Amino acid sequence: MFDTIRVLSHHEIERVAALAGEIWTEYYTPLIGAEQTAYMIGKFQSADAIAGDIHTKGFRYDLMTDGARDIAYCGVLPEDESLFISKIYVRGEYRKMGIARLLLGRAVNEHPKARRVWLTVNKGNETAIASYKRMGFDMEDSVVTDIGGGFVMDDYIMARRVAFGVEF
């Protein structure tokens, strides 16, 4: 049975950061290389970065567990009538079980004013792109973002329309 925790405390933030380090190292190293993966973990997935997202920028993070094991997390930012999915990551052995879909559905239903959900996804991340397409997301744009350290994020923006109670 999966449980979901709203991430607020320092301990919960540390748990998300530890999980992020594991997931990112395993998944993104082959996709973007070890150097950029490590840089992005430090810049966007560290405990300090997550704490800043939550306590300063207005993000909401959820951590999904399977018993005592942390298995997935999601970070979202409400924006007027849209919801930005900043982070949604699932531990390798739990992928293809509908966990991302559960986290997205929960996030949308907790923000009933949202009529649009959007995210960015690495152009080379064919698995995630296919998953988002199955959930009704469409390509809207292509962006290249300088993230410092000599690195860029080369992403697609994907979005879908939603209504309260709509399932993913």
Q: Is 152 helix (H, G, I), strand (E, B) or coil?
A: strand
Spacing of C-alpha 53 from chain mean position: 13
Which residues of 35-150 form beta strands (DSSP E)? 60-66, 69-79, 82-90, 116-122, 138-148
The predicted structure's pLDDT at residue 112: 87
The predicted structure's pLDDT at residue 35: 97
Distance CA 159, CA 163 (A): 13
Of 125, 107, 110, residue with least CA distance to 27: 125
Q: What is the mean pLDDT of each run of 10 residues along the chain (168 residues)?
A: 94 98 96 96 97 97 96 96 96 94 92 93 96 95 96 97 71
| Burial class of residue 67 in the structure, from the number of CB atoms within 10 Å of its CB (0-12 exposed, 13-18 middle, 19+ buried) | exposed
The predicted structure's pLDDT at residue 167: 65
The predicted structure's pLDDT at residue 163: 73
Rounded to two decimals, the pTM is 0.93
Domains (ranges, CATH) in the chain? Answer: 2-161 (3.40.630.30)
Distances (CA, A) of 4 to 26, 45, 89, 120: 23, 19, 14, 23
Q: Is 8 helix (H, G, I), strand (E, B) or coil?
A: coil
